[in-house]
């Protein structure tokens, strides 16, 4: 869809992005997100060239150098009975075990970055997939109404009736052992597509409902009536009049869905029915830290904080997008 020609005044999208650019908290949130994505992307570089560890291999017998001294990764417990071992605590130096070690002697900082890759990949892909499915369902239901709407809406009601986490957990447990077989295709149980698809599916009704409502309102809008009175075919009204007008709602939903997807992914991984070992995700790292919560709390706190920061940033960004994309408000400002 090519929009206005060169000399045109700023269109609604341009205006919106300018408004978003002027929103300081949204821009901060965006900067934080970009920073976290970049940090996750450089995870291999950090592991190999800065921390010199392999975050996926247990290393209980090893040691690392700290201030010229060799320090055991697993240290004798300092409790009165000297039972068991405690992994090394945070050194706060990026060169080695910055955030300490987990119970298997792996570098938590490096695992955190690797976990970020997986967590963000899953949550962003799940959000995109969810929004795409929800848009199709919502637009079809809202635009065609009648029988199509009835079938799709009842289907969504059924999905809605099951609590999200319960739904996601049930689906995960079913697929965790044998993977997913769709006709001749089999998706292995450890494939990331499985958590992505599950998360996208369980949140679909939450995104489809508002889109459907918006489309239903738009279907009766005067400009749709005007287009019909000019003899524009239905599919063209759908593409030209309806879709661009719901696009703003869809864009606003995206970061919120990503935040929900991240939380769900972490929860599933924490319950070890999401991402499978040895792959790290923020949820699995928290699970690793669960047993060390009294002695080495940083193992669970670091990924927990990462989740909180990303979820808050996504929500702030979503709010900023909603403010920026409110078409009705901009039209008032314009005249």
Partner 1 sequence: MAGDAPLLDVRDLSVSFRSGGRDVPIIENVSFAVCEREILGIVGESGSGKSVTAMAIMRLIDDPGVTLRGSVRFRGQELTTLPQKAFRTIRGREIAMIFQDPMTAFTPVYTVGWQIDEAIRVHERLSKAEARARTVRLLGDMGVPDPERTANRYPHQLSGGLRQRAMIAMALSCNPALLIADEPTTALDVTVQAQILDLLRNLRTDYGSAVMLITHDMGVVAETCDHVMVLYSGRVAERGPAAAIFSQPAHPYTAALLDSIPPLTGPRPTRLPSIAGAPPAPLERPPGCAFAPRCHYAHAACDILPPLVRCAEQEVACVLPGEGKALPPRMTERVEA
Please name every residue paired with 163 in a beta bridge, in sequence order, or none if there are none.
none
Residues 64-123 that bind partner 1 (CB under 8 A): none
Cβ of residue 254: shortest distance to partner 1, in angstroms?
18
Out of 174, 226, 293, 312, the residue judged to bind partner 1 by CB under 8 A: 226
Cβ of residue 226: shortest distance to partner 1, in angstroms?
4
Out of 188, 228, 291, 312, the residue judged to bind partner 1 by CB under 8 A: 228
Instruction: Give helix 243-270 / helix 193-219 axis angle, nearest 10°.
Output: 150
Out of 7, 67, 80, 185, the residue judged to bind partner 1 by CB under 8 A: 7
- Phi then psi for residue 179, to 5 deg, are 75, -165
**Residue 235 within binding range of partner 1, rule CB under 8 A:** no
Q: Which stretch binds partner 1 (CB under 8 A): 38-46, 47-55, 168-176, 230-238?
A: 230-238
Distance of alpha carbon 322 from alpha carbon 253, whole angstroms? 9
Residues 6+ away with beta carbon under 8 Å from 112: 99, 282, 285, 302, 303, 306
Integer CA distances (angstroms), 161 to 171, 196, 207, in order: 15, 21, 15
Distance of alpha carbon 151 from alpha carbon 145, whole angstroms? 10
**Residue 59 within binding range of partner 1, rule CB under 8 A:** no
3-class DSSP state of 326: coil
Out of 83, 229, 235, 294, the residue judged to bind partner 1 by CB under 8 A: 229
Out of 21, 44, 94, 233, the residue judged to bind partner 1 by CB under 8 A: 233
Out of 34, 35, 305, 327, the residue judged to bind partner 1 by CB under 8 A: 327
Out of 45, 158, 236, 290, the residue judged to bind partner 1 by CB under 8 A: 236
* 97 CB burial (10 A radius; 0-12, 13-18, 19+): buried
**Residue 217 within binding range of partner 1, rule CB under 8 A:** no
Q: Which stretch binds partner 1 (CB under 8 A): 178-186, 227-235, 268-276, 290-298?
A: 227-235
Element (H or E) spanning 44, and its range? Answer: helix 43-45
Smallest Cα–Cα separation from 251: which of 6, 9, 12, 3? 12
Q: Which stretch binds partner 1 (CB under 8 A): 36-44, 111-119, 202-210, 237-245?
A: 237-245
At 176, list the tokens: 């965790």
What residues make contact with partner 1 under the rule CB under 8 A?
A: 3-5, 7-9, 11-12, 146, 221-223, 225-233, 236, 240-241, 244-245, 247, 327, 330-331, 334-335
């Amino acid at each position: 869809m090519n929009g206005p020609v060169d000399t045109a005044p700023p269109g609604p999208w341009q205006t919106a992005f300018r408004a978003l650019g002027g929103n300081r908290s949204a821009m901060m949130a965006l900067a934080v997100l970009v920073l976290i994505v970049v940090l996750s992307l450089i995870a291999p570089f950090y592991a190999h060239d800065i921390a010199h560890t392999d975050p996926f291999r247990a290393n209980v017998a090893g040691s690392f150098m700290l201030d010229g001294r060799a320090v055991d990764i697993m240290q004798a417990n300092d409790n009165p009975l000297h039972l068991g071992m405690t992994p090394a605590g945070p050194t706060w130096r990026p060169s080695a075990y910055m955030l300490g070690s987990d119970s298997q002697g792996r570098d938590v900082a490096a695992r955190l970055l690797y976990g970020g890759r997986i967590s963000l990949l899953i949550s962003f892909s799940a959000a995109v997939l969810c929004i795409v499915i929800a848009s199709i369902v919502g637009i079809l239901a809202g635009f065609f109404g009648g029988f199509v709407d009835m079938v799709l809406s009842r289907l969504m009601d059924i999905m809605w009736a099951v609590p999200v986490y319960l739904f996601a957990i049930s689906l995960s447990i079913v697929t965790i052992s044998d993977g997913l077989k769709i006709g001749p295709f089999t998706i292995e149980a450890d494939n990331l597509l499985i958590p992505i698809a599950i998360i996208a599916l369980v949140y679909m009704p939450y995104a489809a409902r508002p889109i459907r409502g918006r489309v239903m309102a738009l279907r009766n809008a005067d400009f749709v009536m005007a287009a019909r009175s000019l003899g524009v075919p239905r599919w063209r009204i759908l593409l030209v009049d309806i879709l661009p007008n719901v696009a703003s709602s869809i864009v606003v939903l995206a970061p919120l869905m990503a935040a929900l997807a991240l939380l769900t992914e972490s929860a599933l991984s924490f319950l070890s029915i999401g991402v499978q070992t040895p792959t790290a995700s923020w949820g699995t790292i928290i699970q690793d830290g669960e047993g060390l919560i009294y002695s080495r709390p940083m193992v669970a706190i670091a990924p927990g904080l990462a989740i909180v920061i990303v979820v808050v940033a996504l929500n702030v960004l979503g709010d900023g997008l909603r403010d920026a994309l409110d078409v009705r408000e901009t039209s008032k400002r314009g005249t």
